Chain A
Amino acid sequence: MGDDSILAARDVRKAFGGIQAVDDCTLSVSKESVTGLIGPNGAGKSTLFNIIAGLYRPDGGEIWFDGTRIDGLPPYEIVRLGLTKTWQIPHELRNLTVLENLVLAAKGNAGEHLLNLFFRPYRVRRDERRWRARAREVLALTQLEGLANEHAKDLSGGQKKLLELARALMSDPPLVLLDEPVAGVNPTLAGNLMDLIERLRRGGTTFFLIEHDMNVVMNRCDRVIVMHQGRKIAEGTPAIVKADPVVIESYLGG
């Protein structure tokens, strides 16, 4: 793994009961890339994402994010370091509005500390104003502005996916993990989404995404990592991966 990597996993292992979901997995993601993670169902992709985000504790191995070792840290600290993640199945906060969902993804909002409410009212108001403005910005980016004050539970499946992405972008993190960002999103919108991701990448954000849509993977990713049975079995540009006989046999089919 070169010096340009923002994320590196070394020999990461995780078992659930007798199933070895992630098995000595070693991979890295280059800075300012859009890196795809593909593989058959049950390959351990989502599990690996959850381990990276701190939601599961790995049984072994190391994970490094931008020079900091993050395995074993609680999820909220990993987010504060600048690594956010979306969920494959949307985890929208159902009875909160879309705007509230977004503002909650703020980083360092003073009003979220009980004592600040009483002792630093000016900062509380200023932060809240700033984060609401940022939320409006991100809503516009993700084409959700018309739904700002709707309950998140009333959104369609595709809109919930957008909300996931919007929350992940709120704090302008250097690395975003996307778990099937366009699954269930209509093709036009999916295209717009991938354009947005490309724009943000040029602005310096790194994306690491799980996706089954081969069009997205082949046309939009700079690099592709293939997982099978908990391990990385191939890596390279989309063209190289597509031609790899091992990948064809285990995932792409003949």
Chain B
Amino acid sequence: MAIDTGLLTNIGFYVSVSIIFAVLALGFNIQWGYTGLFNAGVAGFFLIGAYVTAIAITLPAPPIVIAGIPVYPGHLGGYHLPFAAGALLAMFASGAAAALVALPTMRLRADYLAIATLAFAEIVRIFAINLESVTGGTIGIILIPRPVEFRPPDPFLNTAAIVGIGALILLVLLFVLQFIAESPWGRVLRAIREDEEATMALGKNAFRYKLQAFALGGALMGLAGSLFAVTLAYVEPTISFAPAVTFSVWVMVIVGGSGNNRGAILGAFLIYGLEFLSVQLKDFAPAALKDTIFYIRLIIVGVLLILLILFRPTGILPEKKRVLR
């Protein structure tokens, strides 16, 4: 090809991963920004979505043994379903998991939900590492088919296709979320965030709304996991779903604007942008900075967060006042 697609592929990768984080941030925004439910296990629901999709859409993968030595334990599934089916299953699985985790803790004080979800995410990850015959163990699941395959394989076209699908999903999601979160239903969620007891005394079954909001947020995190699986074409349990992913999503929503869907998306593109930039700049950085640039990013994000909380605690795109006519 005449034009250099390397840079475009790079930018495409940034956009596609940002979209994944944006979907995670939208899910967390429904839970925290609208309803005030603190989810400390975003990574767990993300993982479930990624693995469910991987298991649903890959070809069968039997264990690989070379010269008597097990090289790959294989994984469950190999159902070879289309991506759309994988995505729907992922949303259902993560949404159901969110409802199950929330069920016993939701009647208690808010902090218990945070503790339960944090533990849940780690338990799920440990299962993913050790339940080898289902998840492929530490190797994970490889050779995940892309929604659109190009022959011969072309990294640029692959990335372009993923960006296109991701952008479409994100747009539809923003539209639907805006519709339901800015409805009378979403108004009850915001009321619960402000004062749960008072909302109950206004005749609302707060428990039911909290459960719905938490499950919906979980389902979105599952969808993000699904996109993640086909974007990278493999899933592995050690780094991708570590607690740091959860913390990143918090920062994205707080920086972008809690309670504002567009803010959550903006936060995702910004915060992941800093991470992406730090990786890209590594090659150009002076020798003295090469090994530290990654940590410099963490410092920048930390300082940014502190400044924001001091001077603009509502985020870059704050929650809007809803003026009713």
Interface residues of A (CB under 8 A from B): 53, 55, 74-76, 79-80, 84-85, 87, 91-97, 99-100, 103-105, 107, 109-114, 117, 124, 127-128, 132, 148-149, 151, 167, 171
Contact = CB atoms under 8 A, between A and B. Distances in A.
Contacts of A149: 321, 323-324
Interface in B164-208: 179-180, 183-185, 187-188, 190-191, 194-195, 197-206
B201 A112 contact: no
A76 B204 contact: yes
Contacts of B321: 97, 149, 151
Contacts of B183: 111, 117, 124
Contacts of B188: 104, 112
B151 interface: no
Given A112-B204, A117-B179, A99 B324 contact: yes
Contact of A85 (B179, B191, B201, B323): B201
Contacts of B319: 95
B180 A100 contact: no
8 contacts: A55-B201, A94-B194, A96-B322, A104-B187, A112-B188, A124-B184, A132-B325, A149-B324
Contact of A93 (B180, B199, B206): B199
B180 A96 contact: no
A109 B184 contact: yes
Contact of B185 (A80, A84, A87, A114): A114
A117 B180 CA distance: 7
Nearest to B203: A79
B212 interface: yes
Contacts of B212: 114
Contacts of B203: 76, 79-80, 105, 107, 171
Please give me the 6 A-B residue pairs with the lowest Cβ-Cβ distance, nearest first: A111-B184, A79-B203, A91-B198, A93-B194, A75-B200, A112-B184
Contacts of A148: 324
A43 B325 CA distance: 44
A128 B184 contact: yes
A128 B184 CA distance: 8
Nearest to B206: A76
A167 B185 contact: no
B39 to A, nearest CB: 19
Given A114-B185, A117-B185, A79 B195 contact: no
A76 B205 contact: yes
A110 B183 CA distance: 11
Contacts of A92: 195, 198
Nearest to A164: B198
Contact of B197 (A55, A80, A100, A110): A55
Contacts of B198: 87, 91-93
Nearest to A86: B201
A105 B202 contact: yes
A79 B190 contact: no
A53 B201 contact: yes
A74 B195 contact: no
Count chain A CB atoms within 10 A of each CB in B187, B204, B322, B324 and give the residue with the most.
Answer: B324
B321 to A, nearest CB: 6
B200 A93 contact: no
B194 A111 contact: no
Nearest to B323: A149
Nearest to B201: A75
Contacts of B204: 76, 104, 112
A132 B325 CA distance: 8
Nearest to A152: B194
B187 A96 contact: yes
Contacts of B325: 132
Among the interface residues A104, A132, A171, which one has the most CB atoms of the partner chain B within 10 A?
Answer: A104
A148 B19 CA distance: 38
Contacts of B200: 55, 74-76
